[in-house]
Every structure is written in C-alpha cells, then in structure tokens.
Structure 1
Amino acid sequence: MTERVQVNMLEAKSQLSQLAERAWRGDAVVIVKDGKPYLDLLPHVETSWARKLGRLKGKIRMSADFDKTPDDIIDGFEGCL
C-alpha cells in the first residue's frame, strides 16, 4: 500500500535521496512550502513510443473554409468589449 508523505522544503533538501526512493516505490511524496502543497515528487516514466514526423499524413482533413470565421462569432467577440 502506498503512503502519502509530506515534507517541508528544508527536509526535502536534506532527504532528497530517501524521498526519491519512496517516490520510486510508489509513495506519494509532496513537498510543502509555507504549509501548502508545492511540489509532487514523481518517478520518471519512459515514453512507450518515439515521435515520428508525418505519421498522421493523410489522416487529417480540413475543410476548404477552415479559416473563415462566421460573422456571428466575430460579432460576439466584438460585442464583449
């Protein structure tokens, strides 16, 4: 079972290695500043796939008038001022 650990900034500074181990094991490590949650210490997770340029080529279609904003939308924004 995972634990939730809260430590202040000074403690985190002096116990970083131990806190990192706990985060790696699955504990929720929260660093607090002025009594409020400030940072979550999380283990690094490798991405499962590499990005590949052009992998969506031919799968995305845009309408010919995609850059034409309807007049009622423009009027709505101009009326907000």
Structure 2
Amino acid sequence: MPDEISIQEAQGNLKDLIAGLAPGAELVITDHERPVAKLVAEVAKPSDKSAKRQGGQLKGQIAIAADFDELPSDIAEAFGAGDQ
C-alpha cells in the first residue's frame, strides 16, 4: 500500500484503504500534491485475537542503574527501615 494517495483516489476507496492499513500505519491524503489529511490505523489492542504480542522491541535501549534496588537512607528512615 502506498504511503501517499490523492484525495480523488481515496474518495472511492476509503473502506478498502482503512482495511488495508496495518496497525499503526499511516496514509497521507493529498490534494494537488499537498498533504491535506492523514489516515492512521488504530494500534492493535492486546485483547485483539488477531494481533500477537511480541516482546523485545526496546532491547538494548533501556538501562537499569546498578543501585536501582538500594533505598536512599532518608527514604528508608522515613519508612522506619533505616539503621536503628
């Protein structure tokens, strides 16, 4: 499916254009080669049986600090878990 379509082409094919969009895909509608609208497919919901969840999209992009599990002393003290 093209990323761009003229408004004249889109008018008669809107139903098919919507059905052909993948979740999250966008289609720009132009009038005389100028963008005038954007058709965006709804992102599939996890409850949608046709869309399988796939993990790992952020692999290597998220880092957890080495001291993540350490509670700062002032916070620990406020919860009564500090050195007594």
Decide: shared fold, TM above 0.5: no
> TM-score, normalised on structure 2?
0.41
**What TM-score comes out, normalization by structure 1 length?**
0.42
Q: 1 or 2, which has the higher helix percentage? A: 1
Structure number with higher relative contact order (C-alpha < 8 Å, ≥ 6 residues apart): 1
